[in-house]
Chains A and B, each alone.
Chain A
Amino acid sequence: MTDTIFRPYSESDALRSDRSASDRVRHRQKVREAIRENIADIVAEESIIGQSQDKVIKVPIRGIKEYRFVFGDNSSQVGTGDGDTQPGQVIGQAGDKSGPGGVGGNQPGMDYYETEITLEELSDIMFEDLELPDMERKKLREIPVENARKRKGFRRVGVRVHLDMKRTAISRIKRRIASHATRASSTLQDGEEKRFPFHRDDLNYRRLVTDVRMQSNAVVICIMDTSGSMDTMKKYLARSFFFLLHQFVRTRYSNVEVVFISHHTQAREVSEEEFFTKGDSGGTMISSGYNKALEVIEQRYHPSLWNIYAFHCSDGDNWEQDNAAAMKSASDLCELCNLFGYGEIKPLNSGDYGESMLHLFENLRASNFHALMIENKEDIWPSFKAFLSRERETSVAREPL
């Protein structure tokens, strides 16, 4: 046995030694892939809907477990107790993460974990592999906004607070070396270092420019039928769809507003909370909702400045005399909106009463209109993709003009 070697802590090693960085990145990628594969399930989770952007949500992850042959539930484990353990005593709950673990750790389960991501990250993942439509953005709808001042290069003059000391010092050193090289003999005779002051030419100031960005505005108009026939399940499906639409529009535009309109036989503009929680009773006149939307657009969101996305959810149980009026308002909306959609929510087993507006809307010939049917929560994500693909077709169709 030779002498023991002690290697002291070295700070620079510690700074350099983030050895797992690339493996962590790779793991993170895997997590994202897993999330993307399960996106349809995650979107249907109630908890993520109607949350703010920074809200951290928990997403169960599958597919990045490290599988191997392990024993299942019928293998017994051994533990030590506090002195008076009795047979038949319950010592933990299965599925409880802090449940007992055996010596060998041969039980799976600990590997099944949830990852936390922000809603913003989630919507990035959701929309990054959708073949996104090039959204139609009219030039007029973009407004230049002075956002902030940002750095851009350096200059010789400026105010003191913008002085970049490091660069200034470097250019002084450069100048000194340059001057010594040419006049070496004359300056170095007495061996003493001569003072070498800063010169005006050494000074470097950071240059700031104002950052002009184009801001694009969009408004999402959510119209929902709140008549007596819209039950909680239907509202939940509607809500999921609005949520996706809102998230999606957010990723495309810098300034997004949302308008909530609820209607039965009359329409009102309501707050988000009211929109999703409050139920009314009575009959349905879809035209009232559309007219209210048209009114809101006329008052606040002029189509030359705003990209307008409107979506209407209903169970299609309209008062028959209103159909003609609804058709007319719908085609008016189509003219104003980038995209106008109608979702008919008919959960399975809900009984086949009332008639469908889908038949009626088949006659509406507008390229930016899309009607779809949502039967259960698994339908939401596919129908949403279908809805967006309609806009893609639209923009392609319009290009020749």
Chain B
Amino acid sequence: MTRSWCMKDLEHWDARIREKVEEFGLTCCSQEFEVCDHEQMLGYMAYHGMPAHYPHWSYGKSYEKLKTLYDYGVSGLPYEMVINANPSLAYLMRGNSLCLQVLTIAHVYGHNDFFHNNFMFRSTRPELTIGNFKLRADRIRSYVENPAIGLNAVEQILDAAHALSMQCRRHSAIRKLSHRDQQKRAEDAALPPHDPFHKIHKTQTCTAPDLKRLPLEPEEDLLLFIAEYNPYLTEWQKDLLHIVHEEAQYFMPQIETKIMNEGWASFWHHRIMNSLDLPEDMHIEFLVHHNQVIRPHQGEINPYHLGFSVWHDILRQYDSPSAAEINHHGTPDKSGLQKIFEVRETDRDSSFLRRFLGEQLMRDLDMFAYQRQQNEYVVTAVADEEHWDNVKNSLLKNVGMAAQPVIRILDADFSLNREMLLEHEHDGRDLHLEYVEKTLAYIYRLWGRKVLLRTMLGGRSRQLTYDEAGFGQDDSHNPSEQAASRT
């Protein structure tokens, strides 16, 4: 059933797909495809798809894991891998059939359009992606080869930095205030409110804000903060922290839009393939592959499946709304297609699901929330009338960056001793204690002074510490006592 193909075939189908892409109104940047074999694909996967990437043992580990899973047939390879760059770069597997290549090409254009238009990707500078990764790789290699630094020293910093790379700001669209701006804001806030009758009122006293406090406002960018305020780090160490931070920032939009992005690409490959008048054998093969990609995974969330369903549901809500929906939201003011093009620009997974994953759809997908109880995973709620919003909230807590704990730096000069005080914003989910211990050790390595973390464990507030003596935990700490020690 499979047909053999050559580059000419790919070019022919690509031209036809591009006609459709333009007809459907997708706006892509230019696209490059590279044909590779499975070993190369595994290599690209281990290095996040980048043609050049700095070395670190964790990528070797990830390669070996992927390869073992692949060799034993536990997991297959993705049909396609595409990176957010301009021109966008995608890899096609040499061994795939023509139908799969055509499907992949159509799917890649979906991603391309999404990268090009979604607001999360505005600041990623795709035209510089590949060059930036190459430059960073070169810099890190030069540190490794520098006899005064060497592999071990670089690894020490990279290991610690990787542990913190996801501890960063989540709202790229809100400008980050500089330290100076924060001071200004603190001063403004301390001023008495404008009083039109100040002549007859008693003069209000204003207390001067503590402008020496560091950070002035709780800080989420752990790596950047450490690089800026630890005076004992050398230039190359700071550079490593910046590199890891920049890389995490580059990938953050993709983490934040996984479900939308895969759903969008699947939505469009489905449309494009159906409009191509494929020969019958190819069409049937396409349906088989398409169903494999978007089938639900028992007990998990398949982002292709969820995204694909939600996009179709938006289309349905706007093109043929049910009576109840008209009753609730009024008649739609735009067509379904207009709406999905708008949504693909303005949303990310959390808002996308919050706005468009409805009760009925959740029930159709048989969504449920589960939790670990002793040694078993037990279903705690299903999407019935009373509990569907519980399930939805659990889901929202697990998409994108919401799946990462929020850790903020409260004070970098705690007890006037340059100790670092961190706070975990507890949202009902406890931290994993073993992981906390090791991660605090990494922060201690980078900061060089005692590190304290306030969190809740099992419903009680705890203060976890790490210093030269190792890991420690105080039971319930007393906030007022802590405050006293500051003064």
Contact = CB atoms under 8 A, between A and B. Distances in A.
A70 B432 contact: yes
19 contacts: A4-B18, A4-B31, A6-B11, A14-B37, A23-B56, A27-B60, A30-B57, A68-B162, A68-B164, A69-B439, A76-B397, A77-B371, A77-B377, A79-B300, A80-B298, A80-B366, A85-B366, A85-B382, A87-B381
A6 B14 contact: yes
Contacts of A82: 298, 366
Interface stretch (A100-108, A127-135, A145-153, A275-283): A100-108
B432 A76 contact: no
Nearest to A24: B60
B466 interface: no
B366 A81 contact: yes
A69 B162 CA distance: 11
A223 B424 CA distance: 60
Interface stretch (A45-53, A89-97, A188-196): A89-97
Given A14-B39, A71-B432, A80 B365 contact: yes
- The SS class assigned to the A binding surface is loop
Interface in A62-84: 64-84
A88 interface: yes
A320 to B, nearest CB: 51
Interface in A1-30: 1-9, 13-14, 17-20, 22-30
Interface residues of B, number: 96
A26 B431 contact: no
A86 interface: yes
Given A69-B167, A75-B429, A93-B377, A8 B64 contact: no
Contacts of A113: 65
Contacts of B371: 74-77
Nearest to A69: B405
A99 interface: yes
Given A6-B7, A72-B431, 16 more contacts: A5-B31, A18-B39, A19-B47, A20-B60, A23-B58, A25-B60, A26-B55, A26-B57, A69-B431, A76-B370, A78-B301, A78-B394, A79-B298, A80-B300, A80-B368, A93-B375
B301 A79 contact: yes
A84 to B, nearest CB: 7
B378 interface: yes
B47 A91 contact: no
B36 A9 contact: yes
A106 to B, nearest CB: 4
Contacts of A30: 57
A84 B298 CA distance: 12
A29 B151 CA distance: 13
Nearest to B155: A26
B192 to A, nearest CB: 40
Contact of B368 (A24, A79, A99, A101): A79
Contact of A23 (B28, B59, B377, B428): B59
Contacts of B179: none
Nearest to B433: A72
